[in-house]
Homo-oligomer: A and B are copies of this chain.
Amino acid sequence: MENLRNRAVQLYRNIQNEICDALEELEPKQKFLVDNWDREDLTGASGGGGETRILRNGEVFEQAGVNFSEVHGHLPSEMSFKLTGKKEEQPFYATGVSLVIHPHSPRVPTSHANFRYLEVGEYSWFGGGADLTPYSLNLEDSSHFHQELKKACDNVSPAFYPKFKKECDEYFFIKHRNETRGVGGIFFDYLGKEENDKLDVYYDFSKSCGHSFVKAFLPIVKNRKDESWTEREKEFQLLRRGRYVEFNLVYDRGTHFGLHTNGRTESILMSIPPIAKWQYENDLASTDSEKKLQEILRQPIDWAGKV
């Protein structure tokens, strides 16, 4: 697996560079701040590390975090059981890139992506995905995002997009709110875990999806960033960000994996927006377009079929 590890590390470092470069191009002044960090394993031994890059208080981006990591060590038995069905502690290795972008403007969606390669005991697999969380009703943005991801999937197999689009809608579902976090994208996990001979195909898939992110997300930012918006639109964004926080802290598998394996808290919780609001009422929508957006969050749409 040594070779696959190296290729994955190189891939995820490249994706990190590519995405950071593209985001910085939209920021006249702010640059990414770079934090290199080492991880201590639960045993106290060295457990790898990573490179966290964060851009804050830009003109476009309130916060954009792009994190690369390569970590290894011992997986606690509970997490080991969740991932492999084996209750004993097991050695693990994980490398990946993960990013969350929170723009200032409520007209520009939040986006998240994560691409990772894991080994636990005898198992190896790829996981990840990319998804979009708009705060205003611009159906063409969601269609564009999905169509680019579909192209990236189709490059490897036409079976992938429909399958992983559906998994994304299921994964980013906030059960206690009966709605999805956003308009989805693709989500996949455990690829190759039961079919080791296909790990090379899934490496190609991870690569194709990873490199599609800039094409899927950046044009939306460019189109929307100079639009003006109202105070109510900002308020709605902050309330919907509250739901974003709820999903990430209550349900997100990556967040829980990180927090339960002595991960670097700052890098894990970089996904949380810098500011979020909550209101007592379950229904956040007050305008017609807010209501339409929320309907979409309750009834996922076949975006790639739409123009």
- List the interface of chain A (C-beta within 8 A of B): 54, 56, 63, 65, 175-177, 238, 242, 245-246, 249-250, 259, 265-266, 268-270, 272-282
B280 adjacent to A270 (CB under 8 Å): yes
Measured between alpha carbons, how far is A246 from B252 in the docked complex, in Å? 13
Chain B residues with CB below 8 A from A175, complex form: 259
A108 to chain B, nearest CB (A): 19
Measured between alpha carbons, how far is A266 from B280 in the docked complex, in Å? 6
Chain B residues with CB below 8 A from A277, complex form: 274-275
Measured between alpha carbons, how far is A259 from B63 in the docked complex, in Å? 30
A272 adjacent to B177 (CB under 8 Å): no
A176 adjacent to B270 (CB under 8 Å): no
Measured between alpha carbons, how far is A269 from B281 in the docked complex, in Å? 10
Measured between alpha carbons, how far is A101 from B15 in the docked complex, in Å? 45
Chain B residues with CB below 8 A from A246, complex form: 249, 269
Measured between alpha carbons, how far is A177 from B278 in the docked complex, in Å? 23
A278 adjacent to B274 (CB under 8 Å): yes
Choose one: B65, B176, B249; the contact of A280 (CB below 8 Å): B65
Measured between alpha carbons, how far is A177 from B262 in the docked complex, in Å? 11
Choose one: B63, B266, B272, B281; the contact of A242 (CB below 8 Å): B272
Measured between alpha carbons, how far is A121 from B238 in the docked complex, in Å? 42
